[in-house]
Structure 1
Amino acid sequence: MSGDRHSNRPERGGIAAAEPSAVAAGEGDVRVYVAPDRLSVLLDCPDPLADLDRTVGIVMEAFRQLRIPEYPDADLLREMLAAGSRAGQPLVSHVLIEGYDAEPAVDGRLEWARDFFAEGWEVDAATGAIDFWAKLDHRAVEAGEWLLKLHPPVAGEPGLTVLGQKIPVGRPRKERMRCGKGVTQRDDEQGVTWFSAEVSGRVRLANGTLAVDDVYVVKGNLGLATGNIRHTGTLQVEGDVEQGVTIDVNGDVVVRGMIEPCDITAGGSLQVGGGIVGQEGCAIHVGGGVQARYARDAAIDAISDVTIGNEVSHCVIRTLGRVLVPNGRIGGGTTIARAGITCGQAGAAGATGTVLVAGVDYLVEPHVAGLEEELAQMEKRRLGIAEELAQLRTGTDGVDTELERRALLAEAAALPGRLTEKAAEIRLYIEEAEAACRPELAALQSVWSGTMIQLGDERMPVRASVRKPRLAKLLNGRVRLLPLGEGNMPEDD
C-alpha cells in the first residue's frame, strides 16, 4: 500500500485488522473515508495548505478511528498533502492510501485451428434447401498441420484491502486433452501444448483423446466382393453398403450411397449420403453421431446427435445426444434421446406405435449395473482376504508366509478407500447423467394421435392430432403440449 516509507500500525493492529468502527471519520469539513470497494482511503477537505498541521492532525486521528492497519506517519502525510494540493482549491476524493485488487485466475482453454466437427449439410442461402450431397466436412487434415493448442491455466493473485483483509481469488479450471494415434504434441516456451497431425487423415475426438485416422477408401460398393471390414481408422465407401456386411472400425464411417441391412460398429461417427435401411437382427452402434437422408426399420445406438434429413420410419433409435429431424417426421418405432427431440411431425397417420422419449439416458442402467458389480466384487474380495489371513495364521511360519501376509494386509488396508471411491464414482455418474438430460420435444409442424410422448419418467399419450407446432415439456411434473412460439422454444445448447 502507498505510504510504506514511514508507517504507523496500531498496537493491536497488524495486517489482519478488525472491521472499522465506521466507514468515515474526521472533524468539521475534513472527512476521511474508506471507498465502497475498500481498496482506497479517500479525503475530502478544503484547501489543506491553509492549515496543513490541523488537516494532518485530523487525518491521523481519522486513520486510528477507522482502524486502518498501516498508514503514513505525520511527516510523510504532510509531504503527500503538500505535493497533491494547489493553493485555494479543495481536495475531493483524494487518495491517501491504496490497497490492490485481486488478479483473477484464467482458466485453461482449448484453441482449435478450425471447427473440425461441424455437422450437417450445406444449405442454399436463397431457398433454404438442403443439399444432401454436400455435407459439412472439415475433418480432413494434412501431416504436420496443427490441430489444437492447449493453453494452461494461470493462477490468480489475491488482493488486499486498505483494512488489511485479503481478497480471495478462485482456482483456475484446467482443460485436458490426450494425444492419440496419428497426433504429436509439443510444449512451447509459454507452456502451451501444441497438437499436430502426424499423418494425413481425418481428425477424431473421443473420450478426451485427439487422434488422426488414416482413411480406408472403398471405391465402389461394400458387399460380398469386398468381405467384412475391420479397420483401426476411418472407412470411406464411395458406393453403397450392401446387405449382410459387417463393419467394425475405430474411427468414422462415411458412406456416399445408402446402407442396406447390415451390422456397423464405429468408434466415431456415421455419415450417410443416402438412407439407412435395416431389418430385425441388424444393428448400428456408433461412438459419435449419425447423419443420413432417411432411416427405415433401423436399430441405431449413438453417443452424439442423430440427424436425419426427411424421415424416420419404424426405427429404434437411442442416443445420448439429440434426435434432429426438423424437416421430416418420426413415424413408428421408439426414439430415445437424452438431450431432446426436434422433428417436423411427431408421429404419422396410421403410425400408432410411435414412442418418443426425451430426457432419458439409455446407458445409465447398464453402466451403473457394471459399476455396482465392480463394487460387489471388491466387497467379496474384502471377505476373501479375511479368510486367507485366517488360514495363514493357522499355517506354518516362514519368510514366504510373512510376505504373503503383508501383501494381504496392504491390500485389505487399501480396499476401504477403493470401495468409497467406487461408490462416489457411481453417485457422480448418476448426477452427471441426470444433469445432461433435456426432457423436451419440439414438433415444428404437427403431433399425430397414437403417439406416446415420454419426458423423463412421465408419459402422455396423444389422443387427438394437433396440426400446429407444439413443444412438449414438463410442467408441475406432468407432460404438457404447449404452442411453439416466442417464450416457448426449445432450450439452446
Structure 2
Amino acid sequence: MSDMFRLKVAKDSLQAFLTVEEKESDLSLVTEQKIISFLESRGVTFGIQGETVKNITENPELLYNENLIAVGNKPLIGNDGFLKIAITEESDANQEFNYRNVIKIPSVQTGQKIGSIIPPTSGINGKTIFNQELNAVPGKPLKLRMGKNIVEKDGQLYATIDGQLSLTENKINVFPVFEVNGDLDLKTGNITFIGNVVIRGNVPTGYSVHAGGDIKIFGMVEGADLNAGGSIYVSGGIAGSNRGKITAVGDIQASYINQGHVEAGHNIEVKSTILHSFLKAGNQVLCSSGNVIGGCCTAGVSIHTLNLGNEMHSKTEICFNVDLQLLEQEKLLTHQLDQIKTETEKLKIIAEKLTEKYRTTGSLNSQELTLLKRQKITESQLNTQELEVFEQLQEIYRAINKIEQSYLLVNGTIYPNVTITFGKYKRIINSLNKAVKIHMNNKEIVIHSINKSY
C-alpha cells in the first residue's frame, strides 16, 4: 500500500508534500492510518498536519495534487544585545523649539545609573520533519565601547561625573558641558572643548567649534567649521554660503541646510529644504517632509525625501557609494590574512617534521624541543590574529554589501535632471516620477511605485 503514495521533501527538511504515486491507484483504499504508516516508513514523524490527513481521507482525489503533509519548525534567531537607557530627556523651559526634541540632551549626575546592557538571547531550536534538532543562531552581543566618565558594573552603566550623555552608534560617554549664552563673537572666539558644547545663539561665518562630545546650537549656523566627536543639533538652519564644513561622528540634525557641506557618520536629518548642498551620511539622509534641490546627497543605506529636484530642473545628484577607504582596508586585511595563513603553514611543516623525528627516533635534542615549544606558542598567536582579521573582514564585507540594500524613497515628485548613482551604476531621470522607490536589482537601477508591491 505504501507504494501508492509519493513523498516530496524540501531541501531544508522543513516541509513534505504528499501525492498519489499512480493516477490509476484505487483511492478508496486510502485511510488515515495508511497515510501515517507511510510517513513513518519514510522517517517523517514530526509536524504531521492532522487536518490535512483528515481532508485527504475524506477527499482522496486531493492526492492528485501536492498536499503539505508535514511542517517542521525553523530555528528562531536570537535577539541581539542592546543598550537600554535608564534616563529620560529633560525639557528646557527656556526654549520653545520642539522639532523632534533634537536639542534635548539628557543631563546626568555623578553615580547616576545611565542604562543597562541587555545580553543577546540564544534563540529557539527548530526541528525537521524527521524529528532532528536544528540549532538556533544566537543573537550577537552588543559591541559597545565604554567612553569617558562611564563605569560598568554587572552590566549596569553609571556616570562618574556631572555632565551630559553623548551616544554614537557603538560608544557612550558622559561629557562636561561648555556653554555660551549668546552668539559666538570676538569675545568668545573659537571653541575647542573635550566635552559637550552648548551655544544659545548663532555661529557666524569664519568661526570654529570643536567638541569631543555633542554640539547643540539654539540659533543658526553660517559658514562656520563645526566638528563633533558625538552629534550636532541645530535648532535653526545651516546657511553655509559654500563656506565652512560641519562634521560629526554621530548624527546631524537641523531645520534646513542651504549651500552647506555636512558630513555625519550616522544620520543627517533635516526638517525642511536641503538646497544646493553637499551632504554625506554613513547611514541615512532624512528629509521626509521637505525637498532636496541641487547639490549632492550621499548615503550609505537610504535617502528619504518628499520632493527631489525642482521645476527649474536644477541639477541634483543622489549617490550610494562604497567607501573607498573600506575597499583599501579590505585589500590590506586580505593580504594580512594571506600572510598569516602562509606563516601558519610553515609552522605546521616544522611541527610535522619534528613530530616525525620524535616518532622515528624517540627523542629530540634541547634545541629542537625549544623550537617545538616556540612553534606552538607562535601558532596559537597566529590563530588568534587570523580570527581577529577574519572578523574585521566580515564587518567590512557587510558594510560593502550595504549597497545592495540601499534605496532612495521619494514620497512626492522626482523632477528631470536628477542623477542617481549606486556605486559604478548611474541613471539620469529625464521625466517626472511620483511616489517611487529606487534601488538596485540584478546590477540595474530600477524604479518602483511605492503604491504597488515590489
Q: Structures share a fold, TM > 0.5?
A: yes
Task: Tell me the CA shift for residue 350 of structure 1.
Answer: 3.0
Number of residue pairs aligned between Structure 1 and Structure 2: 357
Q: How does 1:173-212 map onto structure 2 within 5 Å?
A: 173-176=139-142, 177-187=144-154, 193-206=155-168, 208-212=170-174
In the alignment, the residues of structure 2 paired with residue 207 and residue 353 of structure 1 have an alpha-carbon distance, to the nearest angstrom, of 33
**Counterpart position of 1:112:** 84
- Please list every run of 5 or more consecutive structure 2 residues that lacks an aligned counterpart in the other structure: 1-32, 35-42, 48-74, 91-96, 343-369
In the alignment, the residues of structure 2 paired with residue 320 and residue 157 of structure 1 have an alpha-carbon distance, to the nearest angstrom, of 33
Task: Tell me the CA shift for residue 286 of structure 1.
Answer: 0.7
In the alignment, the residues of structure 2 paired with residue 443 and residue 255 of structure 1 have an alpha-carbon distance, to the nearest angstrom, of 29
**Counterpart position of 2:227:** 265
In the alignment, the residues of structure 1 paired with residue 199 and residue 157 of structure 2 have an alpha-carbon distance, to the nearest angstrom, of 28
Question: Structure 1 residue 470 and structure 2 residue 436: aligned?
Answer: yes
Name which of 400, 407, 410 aligns with 1:440. 407
Task: Decide whether aligned partners of structure 1 residues 381 and 174 sit closer, same or farther in structure 2, where only a CA change above 3 A counts.
Answer: closer
Question: Structure 1 residue 367 and structure 2 residue 333: aligned?
Answer: no
Task: Decide whether aligned partners of structure 1 residues 415 and 218 sit closer, same or farther in structure 2, where only a CA change above 3 A counts.
Answer: same
Q: How does 1:372-451 map onto structure 2 within 5 Å?
A: 372-373=331-332, 418=385, 422=389, 425-426=392-393, 428-435=395-402, 438-451=405-418
- Please list every run of 5 or more consecutive structure 1 residues that lacks an aligned counterpart in the other structure: 1-23, 26-33, 39-102, 119-129, 188-192, 384-402, 489-493
In the alignment, the residues of structure 2 paired with residue 427 and residue 184 of structure 1 have an alpha-carbon distance, to the nearest angstrom, of 30
CA contact (8 A) 1:339 1:437 kept: no
Name which of 443, 448, 451 aligns with 1:482. 448
In the alignment, the residues of structure 1 paired with residue 386 and residue 135 of structure 2 have an alpha-carbon distance, to the nearest angstrom, of 34
> Aligned partner of 1:332: which letter?
G
In the alignment, the residues of structure 2 paired with residue 407 and residue 255 of structure 1 have an alpha-carbon distance, to the nearest angstrom, of 59
Task: Decide whether aligned partners of structure 1 residues 156 and 450 sit closer, same or farther in structure 2, where only a CA change above 3 A counts.
Answer: closer
Name which of 281, 284, 288 aligns with 1:322. 284
CA contact (8 A) 2:233 2:253 kept: yes
SS of alignment partner, residue 398 of structure 2 = helix
Name which of 302, 306, 331 aligns with 1:344. 306
> Aligned partner of 2:198: which letter?
Q
Task: Decide whether aligned partners of structure 1 residues 197 and 263 sit closer, same or farther in structure 2, where only a CA change above 3 A counts.
Answer: same
In the alignment, the residues of structure 2 paired with residue 299 and residue 344 of structure 1 have an alpha-carbon distance, to the nearest angstrom, of 21
Q: How does 1:49-68 map onto structure 2 within 5 Å?
A: none
CA contact (8 A) 1:276 1:298 kept: yes
> Aligned partner of 1:110: which letter?
F
Name which of 204, 210, 215 aligns with 1:248. 210
Q: Deviations over 1:329-357 (max 9, x none)?
A: 11111111112111111112335321012
CA contact (8 A) 1:329 1:344 kept: yes
**Counterpart position of 2:58:** none
Task: Tell me the CA shift for residue 112 of structure 1.
Answer: 1.5
Which deviates more, 198-207 or 415-424?
Answer: 415-424
Alpha-carbon RMSD = 4.5
Q: Deviations over 1:385-413 (max 9, x none)?
A: xxxxxxxxxxxxxxxxxx9xx99998899
Task: Tell me the CA shift for residue 184 of structure 1.
Answer: 2.2
Task: Tell me the CA shift for residue 365 of structure 1.
Answer: 1.0
In the alignment, the residues of structure 1 paired with residue 277 and residue 412 of structure 2 have an alpha-carbon distance, to the nearest angstrom, of 20
> Aligned partner of 2:82: which letter?
L
Task: Decide whether aligned partners of structure 1 residues 105 and 186 sit closer, same or farther in structure 2, where only a CA change above 3 A counts.
Answer: farther
Question: Structure 1 residue 452 and structure 2 residue 424: aligned?
Answer: no
Task: Decide whether aligned partners of structure 1 residues 482 and 283 sit closer, same or farther in structure 2, where only a CA change above 3 A counts.
Answer: same
Task: Decide whether aligned partners of structure 1 residues 325 and 207 sit closer, same or farther in structure 2, where only a CA change above 3 A counts.
Answer: closer
> Aligned partner of 2:230: which letter?
G
**Counterpart position of 1:137:** 104
**Counterpart position of 1:296:** 258
Task: Decide whether aligned partners of structure 1 residues 239 and 174 sit closer, same or farther in structure 2, where only a CA change above 3 A counts.
Answer: same
In the alignment, the residues of structure 1 paired with residue 169 and residue 288 of structure 2 have an alpha-carbon distance, to the nearest angstrom, of 28
In the alignment, the residues of structure 1 paired with residue 120 and residue 432 of structure 2 have an alpha-carbon distance, to the nearest angstrom, of 54
Task: Decide whether aligned partners of structure 1 residues 117 and 477 sit closer, same or farther in structure 2, where only a CA change above 3 A counts.
Answer: farther
Task: Tell me the CA shift for residue 221 of structure 1.
Answer: 1.1
In the alignment, the residues of structure 2 paired with residue 250 and residue 479 of structure 1 have an alpha-carbon distance, to the nearest angstrom, of 40
Task: Tell me the CA shift for residue 168 of structure 1.
Answer: 6.2
Task: Decide whether aligned partners of structure 1 residues 227 and 366 sit closer, same or farther in structure 2, where only a CA change above 3 A counts.
Answer: same
Structure holding more helix per residue: 2
**Counterpart position of 2:195:** 233
Question: Structure 1 residue 334 and structure 2 residue 296: aligned?
Answer: yes
SS of alignment partner, residue 114 of structure 2 = strand
CA contact (8 A) 1:110 1:148 kept: no
CA contact (8 A) 1:302 1:318 kept: yes
CA contact (8 A) 1:158 1:166 kept: no
Task: Decide whether aligned partners of structure 1 residues 186 and 225 sit closer, same or farther in structure 2, where only a CA change above 3 A counts.
Answer: same
* Structure 1 ranges of 4+ moved more than 6 A: 103-106, 115-118, 154-160, 374-383, 406-413
SS of alignment partner, residue 438 of structure 2 = strand
In the alignment, the residues of structure 2 paired with residue 106 and residue 477 of structure 1 have an alpha-carbon distance, to the nearest angstrom, of 32
CA contact (8 A) 2:301 2:402 kept: no
In the alignment, the residues of structure 2 paired with residue 291 and residue 487 of structure 1 have an alpha-carbon distance, to the nearest angstrom, of 32
CA contact (8 A) 1:105 1:169 kept: no
CA contact (8 A) 2:103 2:235 kept: no
| Length-normalised TM-score, structure 2 | 0.65
In the alignment, the residues of structure 2 paired with residue 104 and residue 479 of structure 1 have an alpha-carbon distance, to the nearest angstrom, of 33
SS of alignment partner, residue 329 of structure 1 = strand
Task: Decide whether aligned partners of structure 1 residues 374 and 281 sit closer, same or farther in structure 2, where only a CA change above 3 A counts.
Answer: farther
Task: Tell me the CA shift for residue 239 of structure 1.
Answer: 0.3
CA contact (8 A) 2:227 2:246 kept: yes
